[in-house]
Structure formats: structure tokens, C-alpha cells
Amino acid sequence: MISLAHAAAAAPGPADMIQQFLPLIIIFVLFWFMLIRPQMKRAKEQRKLIAELQKGDEVLTASGLAGRIVKIGDQYIGLEIADGVVVNVQKQTVQTLLPKGTLKSL
């Protein structure tokens, strides 16, 4: 009887290992450029927006409240949503900075 050990292939070399991991490397690169990198860019823009908030800015929060900033603290802002109605919200909930005069058109 012929032994099967003589018919076995040689151990895979470095080139074969690269070919095996190439699809995983390509998938990681695609995830980086299509998911991770844009998310990091949006987070950076959001931090910049929150840091530059000023009194009198018209903003839209994540919950849909639109108002004018009347008071700014470390963690919270006072948002005037109607004449004489001020609501305190967290700074991180501010999602969009609206152009001046937007609230008059609502």
C-alpha cells in the first residue's frame, strides 16, 4: 500500500498566506473608508459646532426643538423656543446651526 504522506502537499509559503488574508485586508480598508472615516469626520464637525455656539444663535436639537440660545453654560444651554419660554437642554443635543432669521419663518 502506498502511504498518503507521500502525496501530501508542501506547507503553504508566505505568498499563499498573503493570498489567504488579502480579502480580509480589502474588507477592512473598505470599512475604514466607507464607515469609520466619515463617522470620525462627522463627530469632529459636531464637536467644533458645539464649541463655537454663541448667544443669539438659532439652533435645532436632536429632539426637533428649534430655538434661539439665550444662555450658555458648561454642559447646558438655555434655548428660547417661544417668547418668554426658555428650556434648558444639553449642549450635545444641538444638531444643526440654523441661518439667522429662520425662526421668524416658522
> How far is the CA of 68 from the CAs of 9, 42, 48, 64, in angstroms?
73, 23, 19, 13
Q: From edge to edge, which strands make up the β-sheet containing 85-90?
A: 85-90, 76-82, 66-72, 58-61, 94-98
The residue to which cell 466619515 is assigned:
38
Is the pTM higher than 0.85? The answer reads no
Q: How many residues does the chain have?
A: 106
How large is the average pLDDT for residues 55-83? 95
Across 48-59, average pLDDT:
95
Q: Higher model confidence: residue 99 or residue 9?
A: 99
> What local confidence, expressed as pLDDT, does residue 4 receive?
57
